[in-house]
A and B are shown apart, each in its own frame.
Chain A
Amino acid sequence: MVGLSLGEKHFIQGGIDQNLRSDGRKRDAYRPISIETGVIPQANGSARIRIGATEVIASVKAELGRPNALQPDKGKVAIFVDCSPVAEPMFEGRGGEELSTELSVALQRCLMGGKSGAGAGIDLSSLIVAEGKICWDLYIDGLVISSDGNLLDALGAAIKAALSNTGIPRVQVAAGASGDEQPEVDISDEEFLQFDTSGVPVIVTLTKVGRHYIVDATSEEESQMSSAVSVSISRKGHICGLSKRGSAGLDPSVISDMISVARHISEQLINKLDSEISAAEADEDEM
């Protein structure tokens, strides 16, 4: 994707070695982050996040559906990511599909927790309306508008912001429906319930270049990576998911070290995002 000459590659690698990256950042520093919520009024919740030149939109739509027969007490959540050719001509046609799938799967893994629902950022049981009959289906869509590295972290943060922007209509279930009958529902268009997002983890990707790892890599830096580990971490400091990219193998002790570094960084990131999200919400209310 990004073609770099040998001299530039060495410059980037050398900068990471000396803890002074091409744009002057230290290894553990993020680019400026800005968040805007409510960008898609037709959705139940939405947000746009910009990290440097990377820009993504996330939207949350809630629809009533039937719970899965195997898990009658839970709602359903689906996460999809699309890479718009607007961001990169390479994503034209089916060109973005591979990356989209990779990002979707990684987000799913990072946000949805284990099969039993433990560690999930979204509490599926809170989505149930009538057990075994009606539940909310949450569709979370990410769209990459401009890409300059660190897409996964940006998408994770955008989804977190979109979820805190999400209002789910209050639903009244008519009593009396019995047996297999689908009960009547009354969806309120005035009363909305705020979604609880305190449990939604953040994703921190550590990109390993040479002997060191960096956060928030630009696409130029990503082209120099040997491998990258994306860790999703909850506010409590628990690991909620992890995936590794890049071909090079890693020593297990390095992985442990990366996880603890990621945990440390996640604390700052969570605080940063929280303040940005509440500022964005305040801005939106003003309008």
Chain B
Amino acid sequence: MDLDVVEPFFTLRPIKRELEARGLQVVARERHTLGLGETGVPLPAEAKWALRREGDVILDVGYGAYGAQTLNLVEGADRHPDLQVLAVINVARPMTATVEDVVAHVRELGRVDGLINNTHLGEETTVELVQEGARLVTAAARLLGLPVVATSVVKELAPLLGGRDVMGNPVRVLERFMPRAFW
């Protein structure tokens, strides 16, 4: 579910159909119901009830001054037993480039239950970069008292990492759709 209401440029909408063809249900506005020329977008009503759905529910909170507080928009998010809030960290971004920055960033977000090391540079990602991310994110996680749930890496590089990264975190393999999500 797409909850990024601040800067929906990289949101799921443009690839909604493609994802649905793969069996995912996507809760996001169709393009023709966008905000008539402005970047911000009103949320669809079904977003409010997303946690009532069956199966795995993934909420893309986006970024913003309110951090994870955006979850307030989803009915039951404050008390759902299975809900986990994961902060996806890319140390290649200047705002989260050091351990201190990552710690400060995660504290700003509010409720966070774990970190994901998603360090990358798009097409120019290297294994060394991913491993460097794993080291920094793991160090930050220790300071925060949070687990590192995974390191994520594109499928092209996954064989070079193996099942675990340099810090022993499990590796999740990504297939990138977002390059097609520009609109």
| Chains A and B bind each other | no
Task: Show the binding face of A for B, using Cβ within 8 Å.
Answer: none
